Amino acid sequence: MRHFDEIYELAADRHSGPEALENKLTKPTPLNELAEMADDRWLSIITKTIFKAGFNWKVIEAKWDGFETAFDGFDLGRCAFMDDEKFDALLQDTRIVRNGAKIAAVRDNAAFLLELRSEGGVGQTLGGWPSQEYVGLLQMLANRGSRLGGASAQYAMRFAGRDSFILSRDVTARLVAEGIIDKPATSQKAMAAVQTAFNTWMEQSGRSLTEISRVLAMSL
């Protein structure tokens, strides 16, 4: 596998030089800000990501004020203890996309975040999880959350601003080219190999997972 500097040079060459490339990179939100982010904002971001999956993102964005109102500002208690009457009303609510399974996921993820709140804090857990063990965070979200397997958890964490990588088509192609994996990473063994590679590149560059992920994506 190449040193990160070599991959950075490939990306810079394809994007009009280092300065232009740097302008396209984003840094993660500082840990203290993630720790202080309101719990309802975490649920809002997770919910938006789930509803965007397999759907037109622009439609979800256009309706989002309606989602916020319909789900009571994503208050964890109200969403977690949603009764059948509220659920049935949401199935008829034109302010949102009326997908029963995804509405149920809001209730389930609210209950999950309430558990994290009791275990030390939502922002402290999701925001403060070590980047060197990011795959473990994704596995926890898949196991304990609802509809947070695969790319959904990756995008939710990126949208929340926490340090993250997204195994997009381009990132996966670069990982294959570097001999890290030979196909999209789905097994625990493959994900462990991806984490090890990112950890190496973090050590080499002093950069975040978020920055490295973007550089990999733009190196093709």
* Residue 42: per-residue pLDDT: 98
Please tell me the distance from the alpha carbon of residue 15 to that of residue 13, in angstroms, as a whole number. Answer: 6
* Residue 150: per-residue pLDDT: 84
* Residue 148: per-residue pLDDT: 98
* Residue 87: per-residue pLDDT: 98
* Residue 22: per-residue pLDDT: 98
Torsion 149-158-106-109 (CA) sign = positive
Type of residue at 180: I
The phi and psi torsions of 67 (rounded to 5 degrees) equal -60, -45
CATH 2.60.40.1120 fits domain 32-129: no
* Residue 133: per-residue pLDDT: 98
CATH 1.10.340.30: which residues of the chain? 32-129
Please tell me the distance from the alpha carbon of residue 18 to that of residue 99, in angstroms, as a whole number. Answer: 44
Mean pLDDT score of the chain: 98
Type of residue at 4: F
What spatial distance separates the first Cα and last Cα of the chain, rounded to whole Å? 15
Q: What are the average pLDDT values for consecutive 10-residue runs of the chain, which has 220 residues?
A: 98 98 97 98 98 96 98 98 98 97 98 98 98 98 96 98 98 98 97 98 98 97
Output DSSP code: residue 30: P
Please tell me the distance from the alpha carbon of residue 5 to that of residue 147, in angstroms, as a whole number. Answer: 36
